[in-house]
Amino acid sequence: MSEEITLKKIDTFAQRDEVTSPTETHIEAKDFSLYYGDFEAVRKVSMKIPKRKVTAMIGPSGCGKSTLLRSINRMNDLIPSTSASGEMIFDGHNIYARNIDVVTLRARVGMVFQKPNVFPKSIFDNVAYGPRLQGIKNKQELSEIVEQSLRQAAIWDEVKDRLQANALGMSGGQQQRLCIARALAIKPEILLMDEPTSALDPKATAKIEDLIGELRKQYTIIIVTHNMQQAARVSDFTAFMYEGVLIEFGNTKQLFTNPENPQTENYITGRFG
């Protein structure tokens, strides 16, 4: 039984060029821990996230995937009484150092949330929100960025005729792709995605997965998912977490076909979680 699932997953890698050699590191966590009050939700995680690759984070519910992901753009700062220890190194700097400007950090790290969270504004204004923040006022320039971002997010054809319509009138899948376009419009280096397809139907999910496949050429993508087939389909590397601890991190194919840790094997073969 378990063999079968594993084999099935191997098939999905077949179409993909394999990443074997170690690549350039984009973000590195060093003994990184994150606390909610006294509760250590992420425990001394050390990992090197490679540049321009898709890294998937898997693990049972409550294991700290979202927390770790949100640590990368310091979204956890919003929650009172969080604290971090260890280092999270991005571009040679520890982003938890005192002199880091969170706003610039977030402008370099785009984020897509589990539930599409478009603003109650027009489609155009949604995508233009980030560029406007960066001080771009020129209408022409803004339009170009909006079009380019919407094209990148593979939604241009669907919305090009109603850019001034309220974004809340779109379908869930469209909204999620709009959120991706909005994140891309700030020209980030990293794209964080927290279960971006969990609220979508299979068709919309497929579209987003295709999109990730496109985007990985330009961006470092980190995606949290509960869907192991999705992780296998879209990612180059996979991290498996359990109770806040990073159990195993490595090449996706290898992790799925030949996990080093028995806990990983149990999880991916569906014995728990």
Partner 1 sequence: MRLETRKLLDKAFSGLGLIAIAVMGIALLLILTPIVWRGSKAFVFKGTIEHRRVMLEQFDRGNPDKFTREYTEITAARAPIYKMMEDFEAETIAQISSMESQMDAKKDRAKELKTAARALKSDGKADEADQLEAEEDRLKDEAKELKSRIKEFKTARTEPYDALHEAIRELLGPMPGQRTPVLLRQQYGQTRWDRTLVKLHEVLYTEEWDYSNADAMGVLVETPRVKQFKGTRLEPFFQYLEEHIEEMMRPKTTFYWQFITDKSKDSHIFGGIWPEVLGTIYLTLGAMIFAIPMGVIAAIYLCEYAKEGRVISFLRICISTLAGVPSIVFGLFGLAFFLNTIQVSDSKSVLAGSLTLSLLVLPTIIRSSEEAILAVPRAYKEAALGLGAGRWHTVMTVILPAALPGILTGIVISMGRAAGETAPIIFTAAVSVGAPLKIWETLSQPTPALPWNIYNLCTEHEAVDEIRHVQYGMVFTLVAIVLLLNLFAILMRARISKKLRG
Ligand X SMILES: Nc1ncnc2c1ncn2[C@@H]1O[C@H](COP(=O)(O)OP(=O)(O)OP(=O)(O)O)[C@@H](O)[C@H]1O
Q: Which positions from 115 through 154 interact with partner 1, judged by CB under 8 A?
A: 115, 117-121, 129-130, 133-134
Residues written for the chain: 273
> Which one of residues 33, 66, 67, 73 is an interface residue with partner 1 (CB under 8 A)?
73
> Which one of residues 55, 66, 152, 269 is an interface residue with ligand X (CB under 6 A)?
66
Residue with tokens 């540049």: 51
Nearer to ligand X, 70 or 253 (CB): 70
- What does 36 interact with, of Mg ion, partner 1, ligand X, none (CB < 5 to 8 A by kind)? ligand X
Taking the C-alpha atoms of residue 192 and residue 84, their distance in angstroms, rounded to an integer, is 19
> Which one of residues 159, 179, 181, 247 is an interface residue with partner 1 (CB under 8 A)?
179
Nearer to Mg ion, 66 or 149 (CB): 66
Q: What is the DSSP string of 18-77?
A: P--S---EEEEEEEEEEEETTEEEEEEEEEEEETTSEEEEE-STTSSHHHHHHHHTTGGG
Half-sphere exposure of residue 2: CA atoms within 13 angstroms, side-chain side: 12
Q: Considering CB under 5 A, how many residues would be counted as binding Mg ion?
A: 1
> Which one of residues 1, 11, 21, 61 is an interface residue with ligand X (CB under 6 A)?
61
Interface mask toward ligand X for 1-40; x: CB under 6 A = -----------------------------------x--x-
Q: To the nearest whole angstrom, how small is the minimum distance from the Cβ of residue 162 to ligand X?
A: 33
Q: What is the DSSP string of 200-227?
A: S-HHHHHHHHHHHHHHTTTSEEEEE-S-
Q: Which positions from 200 through 239 interact with ligand X, judged by CB under 6 A?
A: none
Q: Which positions from 56 through 75 interact with Mg ion, judged by CB under 5 A?
A: 66
Q: Tokens in use for 96?
A: 């938890």
Helices (H), 62-171: 65-72, 102-108, 123-133, 139-152, 156-159
Taking the C-alpha atoms of residue 52 and residue 27, their distance in angstroms, rounded to an integer, is 11
Of 2, 38, 8, 68, the residue nearest 244 (C-alpha): 68
Nearer to partner 1, 73 or 263 (CB): 73
Query: 102 by DSSP, 3-state: which?
Result: helix
Do residues 112 and 183 make contact, with C-beta atoms less than 8 angstroms apart? yes
Nearer to ligand X, 114 or 166 (CB): 114
88 lies in the binding site for partner 1 (CB under 8 A): no
- What does 61 interact with, of partner 1, Mg ion, ligand X, none (CB < 5 to 8 A by kind)? ligand X
Q: To the nearest whole angstrom, how small is the minimum distance from the Cβ of residue 267 to ligand X?
A: 13
Task: Kindly state the helix (H) or strand (E) to which residue 268 belongs, with its residue range.
Answer: helix 262-268
Taking the C-alpha atoms of residue 79 and residue 63, their distance in angstroms, rounded to an integer, is 18
Site residues (CB under 6 A) for ligand X?
A: 36, 39, 41, 59, 61-67, 79
Site residues (CB under 8 A) for partner 1?
A: 73, 75, 78, 80, 103-104, 106-108, 110-111, 113, 115, 117-121, 129-130, 133-134, 165-169, 179, 182-183, 186
